Chains A and B, each alone.
Chain A
Amino acid sequence: MGGKVTCTLGEVKNRADFIIYWGGNPADCHPLHFSRYTLIPKGKHVPEGRKGRTMVLVDVRETPSAKHADILLQVKPGKDFEVITTLRALVKNQPVDAARVAETGLTLEQLQDFVDRMKNARFGVLFFGMGLSMTRGKHMNSAAALALVAELNAYTKFVSMPMRGHGNVTGADVVMRWTTGFPFGVSMSRGYPRFNPGEFSTIDVLVRGDNDATLVLGADPGATMPQPAIDHLARTPTIVLDPKVTHTSRLARVHITTATTGISAPGTVYRMDEIPLPLKPILESPYPTDEEVVHRILEKVKEKPAWTPASYKEVPCA
């Protein structure tokens, strides 16, 4: 029903004896994850380091991370939700249909063994990546991973953590939560924050063509979004703030070059476990920072006649 049972990365380093990576390939995408935070370091309560830990990799294919794993569980593409739901039942000693389990690419015996290992862990952790959260089922796959881990706590200590990709996307969640009360997908069109993923999430907004101007910063949707979304960005006024002239800049009405985060721009970023870290820029950029440019745009907006939703009429409603 929601919620997350998690920890900071040092807890994993100091305590975890059972580590699962699901739908992620840290060897390629988070190269220091194994050596700095999880698998390899000697922890306070895992003095043996790597030898004191078991690693299970769950993925649809054998990635370069597989050679770091003790056990590889290869699941058929798009079957993660079925597997996790089965695991949730097995954790509670509930019966499952062996033939339908086998359709996932894994056998009931493999999953029962997996559950036994999870329950016997002293401190277990499940990291899940975009191979889980961006495939069919999306947020429900993440919810499944979170639910499985929460329920394992009836048997042993277990935590989970999403392997957030893009630089400071964690920071965006954190900042939006404290300023608006919601983590992403917030509309201010009525003058106060409203949250509804699917309605106010960017891809949906752009594909439906709901918005009539876009400010893009710290992203390049012109390179990654589906074509209808890109077409809409080109059709309506788009403004890009980026250290480079990006794909999106080329279809935008306005591009402003900004200093690179952490190299020339100072400030704060959040690690995937929501630990805030200071930036220490080494180069002085000829360009202003995102922070400064957004502030300047805001100041210009403030010079115009104010948009005052607080003075609008109350809308009668049943």
Chain B
Amino acid sequence: MTQKTVENATCTFCGCVCDHIGLQAEGDRIVKTKRACGLGEAWFKNHTAEDCYPDALVDGKPATVDEAVEAAAEHLYQANMPLVYGLSNTTCEAQRNAVALAEWVGGVVDSHTSL
């Protein structure tokens, strides 16, 4: 089983975004965290790289990512007023793309801030 360690990893669970976390992985799981709080440790250990969900679902049925991407694009493109929402548990790079997508489909874009 492959082992890997990372130092000064960044935890995205809460707004503290602590970036001094030590991580140790075996295979597709994180088995040990250093300097993380309880919430952070649970966050790191509960997210594995296992293949435990379908790649994609379209109308409740398993689908390929390509099919799902095509369906997603069609729904958003056809909509008269689409909404792009969330943007919290994701990266700035994804957020940046999401704003571009909202622009291309003429939609509303919003985050948790408005709650």
Contact = CB atoms under 8 A, between A and B. Distances in A.
Direct contact of A and B (CB under 8 A): yes
Interface of A: 29-33, 36-37, 134, 163-176, 179-180, 183-189, 191, 197, 200-203, 205-206, 210-219, 221, 237, 239, 243-245, 249, 252-257, 260-272, 275-280, 282-291, 293-298, 300-302, 304, 307, 309
A296 B68 CA distance: 10
Given A30-B15, A301-B104, A268 B92 contact: yes
A275 B10 CA distance: 12
Contact of A282 (B25, B86, B105): B25
Which 8 pairs from chain A and chain B are nearest by CB? A267-B91, A219-B86, A300-B73, A201-B114, A213-B79, A31-B37, A218-B90, A164-B15
B95 A261 contact: no
A309 B80 CA distance: 13
A191 B106 CA distance: 6
Contacts, number: 341
A300 B101 contact: no
B92 A290 contact: no
A172 B103 CA distance: 15
Given A175-B95, A269-B10, 15 more contacts: A185-B108, A188-B103, A201-B115, A211-B79, A212-B80, A214-B85, A215-B72, A216-B85, A254-B59, A255-B57, A277-B17, A283-B49, A291-B91, A300-B72, A304-B73
B89 A219 contact: yes
Nearest to A221: B85
A61 to B, nearest CB: 21
B49 A284 contact: yes
Contacts of A31: 37-40
| Size band of the interface chain B makes with A | 35 or more
A280 B104 CA distance: 31
A108 B19 CA distance: 43
Interface string B7-19: 0111111111111
A211 B108 contact: yes
B4 interface: yes
B106 to A, nearest CB: 5
20 contacts: A32-B40, A165-B15, A167-B12, A172-B87, A176-B95, A184-B113, A186-B108, A202-B108, A213-B83, A214-B84, A221-B86, A243-B47, A261-B90, A262-B11, A267-B94, A268-B93, A282-B6, A300-B72, A301-B101, A307-B77
Interface of B: 4-6, 8-20, 23, 25, 28-30, 37-40, 44, 47-51, 53-59, 65, 68-115
Contacts of B17: 167-168, 269-272, 275, 277
B29 to A, nearest CB: 8
Contacts of A183: 113
Nearest to A225: B115
- With most chain A CB atoms within 10 A of its CB, the pick from B17, B25, B105, B114 is B17
A188 B88 contact: no
A293 to B, nearest CB: 7
B50 to A, nearest CB: 8
A91 B102 CA distance: 45
Given A175-B95, A263-B47, A293-B65, A170 B73 contact: no
Given A255-B57, A300-B73, A301-B73, A202 B96 contact: no
Given A33-B16, A168-B92, A263-B47, A254 B87 contact: no
A204 to B, nearest CB: 8
Contacts of B75: 213, 237, 239, 253-254
B96 A218 contact: no
Contact of B72 (A200, A254, A309): A254
Contacts of B38: 31
Contacts of A255: 54, 56-57, 68
Contacts of B40: 31-32
B79 to A, nearest CB: 4
A208 B92 CA distance: 29
